[in-house]
Amino acid sequence: MARILGIDFGVKRSGIATTDPLQIIVSALATIPTMELRSYLERYLLEEKVEKLVIGLPKHRDGSYTELKPDIDDFCQWVSLKYPNITIEQIDERFTSVLAKNVILDSGLKKKDRSDKMRLDKISAVLILQRYLGHF
């Protein structure tokens, strides 16, 4: 089996999470500037076998898409053209940031470490992937 990657696509940064090759365990992988997401993915795919990307689809409370939707669609189109063997799934990511903040608060980290936005992006990606896999 191959890994599944979860992406919390953001305006400035994107969080990335991955499964183990058996797709049982989800782990935070990285937070990178969104403008470097394509090159990061290219490097990662040289080293690891990935069968699926799960990308969080940001929506407003009323269910309408946020302004990031066209950028996410563009990224997904690039992936599907460059890597036709990788399946792309988009799932609703509403409230993952709130859940990620709660995870960080419950973790016992010092206040300075809790305010690290890069940590929040990674945890959001983990939650997106866990939601997709049905872990919660």
At 72-130, the pLDDT tens digits run 999 999 999 999 999 999 998 866 766 655 555 555 556 555 455 666 788 889 999 99
Q: What is the mean pLDDT of residues 7-20?
A: 95
The count of other CB atoms within 10 Å of the CB of residue 14 is: 26
Please state the domain extents for the chain.
3-133
CA dist 80 and 7 (Å) reads: 15
pLDDT of residue 64: 87
| Topology annotation, domain 3-133 | Nucleotidyltransferase; domain 5 (3.30.420)
The owner of tokens 């990788």 is: 86
What's the pTM?
0.84
Burial of 74 (0-12, 13-18, 19+ CB in 10 A): exposed
